Structure 1
Amino acid sequence: MSKNQEAVGTHRDTEALLAVLDAADRIPSAGLLRSRSYELLSLVPGSTVVDIGCGAGRAVADLAERGVHAVGVDPDPWMLAAARERWPAAEFREAGAEDLPFADASVHGYRADKVLHLLREPGRAVAEARRVLYPGGRIVLVGQDWDAIMIDSDDAALTRTIVHARADLLGAPRAGRQYRNLLLDGGFNDITVEVRTSVFTDPAMLPLLTRLIEPVCTSGAVGRDRADEWLAEQRRRAGADRLLIAIPFFVAAAASA
């Protein structure tokens, strides 16, 4: 594959992911979850807040509207290009969660939404968060528990296999349930943990199921024929207004020592 072909493929994958994220963001419960994460940051006008894994930048724009200096950070240049196109007045930087481009004790708030499960060592990201936060600064972690995703299906056993096999392909699929201990290990204080479940019934979420099962097929955990049958059933459910996906999201907040 040429570099140009690879770039085109990456662009298409980013566009497909953006479509899924945009559809999920429009769900009312997703908006409530974002608002809750902003509340837990205890925002002070004029303070600096970083949004890690900012994607297309919606939270960065939201935070800026609340009067803070918001900076979006993401390791994906394609996502950052989309973010800059959508929010040209906002600030974005390319970096990973384990190596942030900020000085010690230089930011007041740190938010990471659906990030830590992608990392092999989420504790490194938490340590980096403590490094860049002022003493007393706030950290908020938001993320789904990939082992606990619920999908209504006629074949419960196959659905469990798909969910757990997809989880096992991630760096830290159960990071959400581990947020409290990660924050304790990182030296944070005043830790709180909430769980909020988002329920999706809109056919627009079908691409989410495709993105769930395709890596499982590639890994060999589920055969192509069974995967296609499962997806066909989910499409039938969507067409009959019988689709249901429920995802528990953990929301943890704490203060830097």
Structure 2
Amino acid sequence: MSTSSSAPSTTPDQTEALIRLLDAADTLPAAAALRTRTYELLALKEGAAVVDVGCGAGRAAGELAERGMRAIGVDVSEQMIAAARARGWRADFRLGDALDLPLGDGEVTGYRADKVFHELADPAAALAEARRVLAPGGRAVLVGQDWDAYVVDSADPALTRTIVHARADLVTAPRAARRYRSLLLDAGFVDVAVEARTGVFTDGRLLPVLTGIARAAAAAGAITAEQERAWIAEQEERAAKDRMFLAIPFFVASAARPAR
């Protein structure tokens, strides 16, 4: 997962921090199971060409290549593409944007975008581009979280609600995942289906997710610095005592480009 050119740019340090966070999340069993489900929904034959849009450091593209696909990873971040290439995945990594993919018309039979559409100011344009690069009958799979629906256990639920919604308001399209079905139908895709998976995280490795949303809420002026410190201290204590609880709903949408 990375961003498109419609999202704010990040510094090298921020990108490195994002890579570390994604690595921590991607190694969790629930995340691996969700990735596997997206591969199943692509329903690709061995040797088929597939693009992973917003590929980040390349894990999904690499895994698709290991499954025998001709995998292409695309990301707008030069640093992400460099990291993906450095990891030795057997995939083709290209610099590019979700709205202007470095692919020819009908070049791929699979299109995958994981945690990308919430960064896009124009998701409809991204799906028009997805349809362009997909061969007739090709399949698209979108997966992402609903930023408004994070569930966090806390002694102060009202403050937690404020933090979650304030962080969501900073996202370009925080509710894009709940719109997947309508977006795909509007773009002319068929056989549209949506599944819901909830990731439950109690591992302190994802504590940076919680501290990050609190700091973002404070920076936006939604909570005070004192509230930020108190809420983060509580979550740090919960993590230390194996009492952290974060649940994130993910939606997985699959569809096909019409055969004609």
Instruction: Name the TM-score, length of structure 2 as normaliser.
Output: 0.93
Shift of 1:28: 0.6
1:201 counterpart residue number:
202
Shift of 1:88: 5.2
RMSD across aligned positions (CA): 1.1
Amino acid at match of 1:227: E
1:100 counterpart SS class: coil
2:128 counterpart residue number:
127
2:158 counterpart residue number:
157
CA contact (8 A) 1:54 1:74 kept: yes
1:233 counterpart SS class: helix
Q: Structure 2 unaligned runs (5+)?
A: 1-9
1:100 counterpart residue number:
101
Aligned equivalents of 1:171 and 1:14: distance in 2? 18
CA contact (8 A) 2:112 2:140 kept: yes
Aligned equivalents of 1:147 and 1:131: distance in 2? 31
2:91 counterpart residue number:
90
Instruction: Name the TM-score, length of structure 1 as normaliser.
Output: 0.94
CA contact (8 A) 1:48 1:69 kept: yes
2:113 counterpart residue number:
112
Q: Structure 1 unaligned runs (5+)?
A: 1-8
CA contact (8 A) 2:51 2:74 kept: yes
1:16 counterpart residue number:
17
Aligned equivalents of 2:224 and 2:85: distance in 1? 40
Deviations along 1:37-94, one digit per CA (max 9) or x if unpaired, are 0000001111110000000100011000111100000111111111111125421111
Aligned ranges for residues 189-228 of structure 1 at < 5 Å? 189-228=190-229
Identity of aligned residues (%): 59
Amino acid at match of 2:35: R
CA contact (8 A) 1:120 1:171 kept: yes
Runs of 4+ with deviation above 2 angstroms? 87-90
Does residue 1:142 correspond to 2:159, yes or no? no
1:67 counterpart residue number:
68
CA contact (8 A) 2:142 2:254 kept: yes
Aligned equivalents of 2:237 and 2:152: distance in 1? 14
